Structure 1
C-alpha cells in the first residue's frame, strides 16, 4: 500500500510522462495518453471542488487503491471521485464536462500521482484551485 495521503499540485500544460514532486521521481505507468474521461466537480456557485474519473480499463484499479485517502470515494460502477478540499458536495448540473483530454497515472517506488489536463477549466477556475490548494 502507498504511504502518503493525498497531495495536489497545479502545473501548466499537459500531464507529463515523468515528474519530480516532493523529492520523488514519478513515471507514467504505461504509454496511455488518456486514462479515462473525467468531470470537474463544481458547487452550485461554480467552485471546482474535485474531479470524477471514469477509467477506461480495469487494469488501472491496482494503482487506484484509495482506502487510506480521506477525500476520495470509489463508486460501485468504477467511478472515482477525488475532492481537493473538505467540501465534498457538488452540483451534478455544473459537473458534466466529460473531458477526454490527457490524463495519466504516474508512479514512484511507494506512491503515485493522478494527472489531469486543465484544458476544460477557465482561468478563474485554475486561479481558484491554485489559491485553495496552496492554503
Structure 2
C-alpha cells in the first residue's frame, strides 16, 4: 500500500472539504493549521493530515470547533479522545461505528488508509527491530 503525500493550495484544500476558503480560514486556530507564509503557498502533507482529522472530528464525529480545541487537543488527538470518551480507537470508529455513506466519504477513506499505512509501518519496524 502506498501512502500519498500531496500538497494543496488554500483553494484546493477548501474544495477537498467542500467548504469555502473563508470557512477553511476559520478552521486554522481550532485545528492548529498554519497558513503558508507566501501568498499562493502550499499546505504540506502534515497540514493536510491535521485538516483531515479536524474534518473527521467536525463532520463525522460532529464535535464543535470549541469541543475540538478544549477536549480533543488536550486529550492528545482524536484517537486518544475517542479511546477516552467512547472506548474505541479512531480506526474502529471509522470502520465500524459510522454509516456506510460516511464510510464512503473520500476524507474518511484517506484517514483509514493513513492509519493502516502507519500500522503497517509500525509492524514492519517492530519486526526489523526484534530480528536485529
Short-chain TM bin: under 0.3
Higher-strand-fraction structure: 1
Question: Relative to total residues, which structure has the larger helix share, 1 or 2?
Answer: 2
TM-score normalised by structure 1 residue count: 0.25
Q: Which has the larger radius of gyration?
A: 2
Structure with more contact order per residue of length (Cα contacts < 8 Å, sep ≥ 6)? 1
TM-score scaled to structure 2, two decimals? 0.26
